[in-house]
Structures are given as C-alpha cells and as structure tokens.
Amino acid sequence: MEWSVVKQYRSLFRNRNFLLLWAGSAISSVGDFFNSIALVKVLSADPAHLGLWMALVMIAKVVPGVILGPVAGVVADRFPRRTVMIITDVLRAGLVAGLVFTSAPSAIITLCTLAAVVSTFHGPAYNALLPTVVTPEELVSANSLSVVTGRLAMLLGNGLGAVVMIFLGAHNVFYIDAASFLVSGALLLPMVPPAAAALARTDGSEHRSMAARFGADLKEALTFIRQTPTIRNMMITLAIVAFPDASLNVLMTTFFTIDLGLPAEGLGLLWALMGGTAVVGALVIGAIGSRVHWKYLISAGAVYIWACMVALLLIRGVISSATFIGLIGLGSGAINVGIQAAIGLLVPDQIRGRIFGGWGMINNLIYVIGALASGWLSDWMGASTTLMGFVTFYLLAGVYAWFAFRAEGSRRPSEAVTA
C-alpha cells in the first residue's frame, strides 16, 4: 500500500497549473532570502553604522506590507493574478540588479524598500490564485506544500547566498538573485489560469475613477468580513497568534544565549532543527489535512505550540530544549495552513485577494509592534518571564478559535465552499 503522503502529493504534481504556480513561487521565495548575507557584506563597509543600516533594511522589508497590504489585495482581485505575479517578478529582478551599481547605504535601503513594495503585491495574488487551481480536497495539501516551500526557502536562500558570496562575491549574488525572479516569472507564462480566476466586472464600477474603484473594493471586503462571522473570527485569531509569533525571534535568542548560556553556534543548530522538523510537520499536515477540519488545525495547533513553549521554559537543559524545539517545529505550520485553507474555501474568489492582503497587513503590523514590545519588556523583566507571557497568547488564540468556530466543526472541508 502506498503511503498516504505519496498519494496526496502525487495528485498535486500531476496538476500542471499548480506545478507551475508552486515552482515559480518556490524560486521567488528563495530569492527573497538569497541576498541577505550579501547586504550585510556591502553595508559592513560602514561598520560604525552597520546596526542602524541593518535595522533600516529590516524595517524597509516590513513597513510596505503594513501600508499597502489592502491595496495589494485589491490589485489581486481587480487584475489577472498570474499577470500581477509576472510583473512583480520582473520588477523585483530589476530592483535587485540595481544593488550591483551602488554601495551607498541610502540607495541600498531605497532599493530594498521598493523591492518590498513590489513583493507586497506578489503574496496576495499567489494566495488568492492557489485555491482556483486545486480541488477543495487538495487545498490543505497545497497550502502545506507552500508552508514547506517558505521554510526551505529561508534555510536554502540564506545558506546558498552565503556560499555564493564567499566564492563569487556580493555583486554576483545580486545578479543571481535577479535572475531567480526572472525564472520565476518565466515559469508562470505557460500557466493557463482557470475561468474562475477571470475577474471581469459587470457592476458598473469600470466607469468610476480609479480611486473610487479602489475605495469600493476595500469597502466590499470590509463589509464581507463584518457580515461573515467565521472570517471575522479568523482575523481576530490571526491577530492574537501574530503577537507571540513576532516576539519569538527576539525572545528565544535572548533566552537561549543569556538565560541558558548557549553559544551562537548551538543556537544556529537549534534553529536548523526547528526548520527541519517544521518541513516534516507541514508535509504530514498536508498528507492528512483533507481529513482534518481547518478548525482543528488552527485551535489545536495554537494550544500545541503553547504547551511545547511552556514545557521548554520550565524544563531547562540542552537535551530538553532541543526536544521541544523539534516538537514546536512539527506543529508550527498547522495554524497558517488552517487559516489559508479556510480563507481559500470560505471566501468568494472575487474578493479573496483583498482578504489575503488584509491578512498580510495584520501580520506585518503586529510583527513591528510585537518585536518592539518584546525587546523592551525582556530588558525590563527578563527573557524567560517575558516569553512566558507572550506565549500565553497562543493558548488564548486556541481557546478563542475553538469556541468561535464551533459551528464549523460538523462540516467537512470539501463542503465549506459555499460563501
């Protein structure tokens, strides 16, 4: 008997549209992380201000998503999504290639900001297009594969970028990174979007001004959220979960290095372990996801992460820490996979991009707030105490999701495409 994981993913890879969409997204995701080390190398020419420049680069990558997330969602619903993705890949290629021709920090930060602005439009288009190229039964598996791709892109992108920089120099990293975006766009060219993704307007809005059309589109999405309790509760759950997510990079680093005295090399191994188990966990979720309601992926996933984090904080030691880091990785994708699947199943195609754009805005906004708050509180109360407080939000999110979505529990994922 074949393993269920093999059967589940084999059907996806037989889907030409999905394969092209996923491959293009995978390559562009690697490109998002490929030049990170090269940027450090170039900006380190001014070592006295390296910390400031890197902080500005990080801000430049996050803030556009906060400001433009809803606009990107409108674009994903107003224009052909495949076309939006191809255009953003070409623009990102040009902006990244521009890094070769300057060493001025202000110019580098400007180019990074513009690339982040363009990337803001890529994500909602991809997330909104994905549910139209797979069946409802395949959606959880497809989203799980997207999560796996994102995790691997972070690991491979940073690692490959560092290796290439050592042997070929920072400028060649930028060239290769630019080429990766062009390859991503080229893979999307032969894709044939399904008829459901054609977003022709027949409501008379084509006669309004562009500003009026964008305003009407945003109002339509907000009205849908307000009138649809499940989606409204989804956004609230996302906001609760995003808060501790934003703090983990700051607090976990401080906890392990200061509270437990773990050297940086050991911390790197722990993150690699978490990344590896996250890949395995997302693949397993994808294999069984069609038989598990998205409600349980979200609520149980949040409570599971809370329990693992509490155990990690209470049972201190190298072996126990590694064990719980691995366990956290196994379940870390469940929440995102559940939310993506639910939005794909429950949100009408014509406004799905705006919902994903709003999701991105919430994530980025709370990332900034949570990262700043966790850094300040950890200096005041200590990393361990602060981390224990932040991870309580996972428990709150799990309990809230369980009761908020209880009416959805009796419906199979394939039966939920009614909104």
DSSP 154-212: HHHHHHHHHHHHHHH-HHHHHHHHHHHHHHHHHHHTT----GGG-----SSGGGS-HHH
One domain, residues 333 and 271: yes
Residue 146 lies in a domain: yes
Higher pLDDT: 52 or 81? It is 81
pLDDT of residue 411: 45
Give the alpha-carbon dihedral of 64, 154, 360, 312, to 10 degrees: -120
Instruction: Tell me, yes or no, whether 207 lies in a domain.
Output: no
How far is residue 186's CA from residue 31's CA, in Å, rounded to a whole number?
14
Q: 321 pLDDT band (50/70/90 cuts)?
A: confident
307 shares a domain with 360: yes
| Total tally of structural domains belonging to the chain | 2
pLDDT top residue among 202 and 301: 301
pLDDT at 187: 93
Cβ atoms 367, 249 nearer than 8 A: no
Q: For residue 259, give its domain range.
A: 223-414
75 or 419: which leads in pLDDT: 75
pLDDT at 264 (0 to 100): 59
In a domain, 218, yes or no: no
Q: Does residue 210 belong to any structural domain of this protein? A: no
Domain co-membership, 128 together with 241:
no
Same domain? For 153 and 241 the reply is: no
| pTM for the predicted model, two decimal places | 0.74
Band (40; pLDDT cuts 50, 70, 90) = confident
Model confidence band, residue 196 (pLDDT cutoffs 50, 70, 90):
very low
Mean pLDDT, the chain, whole residue set: 80
**Same domain membership, residue 228 and residue 135:** no
Region 32-59: mean pLDDT is 77
Which of 61-65, 197-201, 386-390 is modeled with the greatest confidence?
A: 386-390
* 297 or 310, greater pLDDT: 310
Q: Of 173, 228, 181, 160, give the one whose Cα is nearest residue 87.
A: 181
CATH code of residue 57: 1.20.1250.20
What confidence score (pLDDT) does residue 118 get? 94
Query: Is 57 a domain residue?
Result: yes
Radius of gyration of the chain (CA): 21
User: Considering the domain boundaries, does residue 208 fall inside one?
Assistant: no
Rounded to an integer, the average pLDDT of 318-341 is 81
Last residue of a domain, one of 163, 180, 197: 197
Are 316 and 401 contained in the same domain?
yes
**296 pLDDT band (50/70/90 cuts)?**
confident
The reply to whether 205 falls in a domain is no
CA distance 363 to 370: 10
* Whether 189 and 321 share a structural domain: no
3-state secondary structure (DSSP) of residue 317: coil
Q: Give the residue with greater pLDDT, 76 vs 415.
A: 76
Are the beta carbons of 76 and 350 closer than 8 angstroms?
no
